[in-house]
């Protein structure tokens, strides 16, 4: 049962990291245009380099 001492903290940390990522996406307005995002993946315009 000593394995629990590792596994439980690991699962909690992983859950926490997921949560932090979610909070980051909310903060950066990534849910403002779900429909547009779904369509944009079909566009042939690639932006390999960051826009200035």
Partner 1 sequence: MTATMRPNISACPACAAAPAAEALAEQEAQKDVRIALSVPAVHCAACIVAVEKALANHPGVESARVNLTLKRATVEAEPHVMPQDLVKVLEGIGYEAHELDAGTLSATETDKAGRELLMRLAVAGFASMNVMLLSVSVWSGAADATRDMFHWISAAITLPTIAFSGQPFFRSAWAALKNARLNMDVPITLAILLAIVTSLWETSLSGEHAYFDAALALTFFLLAGRYLDHRTRAIARSAAEELAALEVPRAILLVDGEQRQVPVAEVAVGDLVLVRPGGRMPVDGEVAEGQSELDRSLLTGETIPVYAGPGLGVSAGEVNLTGPLVIRATAVGEETSLHRMADLVAIAESGRSRYTSLADSAAKLYAPGVHILSALSFAGWYLYTFDVRTALNIAAAVLIITCPCALGLAVPAVTTAASGRLFRKGMLIKHSTALERLAQVDTVVFDKTGTLTAGAPELMNLGQVSTRDVQVALALAEASSHPLSQSLVKAARDAGFDPAEVDEITEVPGYGTKGLWQGREVRLGRASWLEAPTISRTAAWLKVGDEAPQAFEFIDRLRDGAEEAIAALKAAGKEVYLMSGDTTAAVEEMANRLGIPHWLAEALPADKATRVQAMTDDGKRVLMVGDGLNDTAALAAAHVSISPASALDAARVASDIVLLGHDLSPIGDAVTTARSAIRRIRENFRIATLYNVIAVPLAVAGLATPLIAALAMSASSITVSLNALRLR
Binding residues for partner 1, total number by CB under 8 A:
26
Contacts of 31 (CB under 8 A, 6+ apart): 25
Pick from 3, 6, 43, 50 the residue near partner 1 by CB under 8 A. Answer: 43
36 touching partner 1, by CB under 8 A = yes
CA distance 45 to 52: 16
Q: At 9, phi and psi to the nearest 5?
A: -60, -40
24 touching partner 1, by CB under 8 A = no
* Residues binding partner 1 (CB under 8 A): 1, 4, 8, 11-12, 15-16, 18-19, 22-23, 26, 31-36, 39-45, 51
């Amino acid at each position: 049962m000593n394995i629990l001492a590792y596994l439980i903290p690991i699962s909690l940390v992983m859950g926490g990291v997921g949560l932090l990522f979610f909070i980051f996406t909310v903060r950066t307005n990534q849910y403002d245009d779900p429909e547009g995002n779904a369509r944009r993946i079909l566009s042939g315009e690639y932006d390999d380099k960051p826009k200035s």
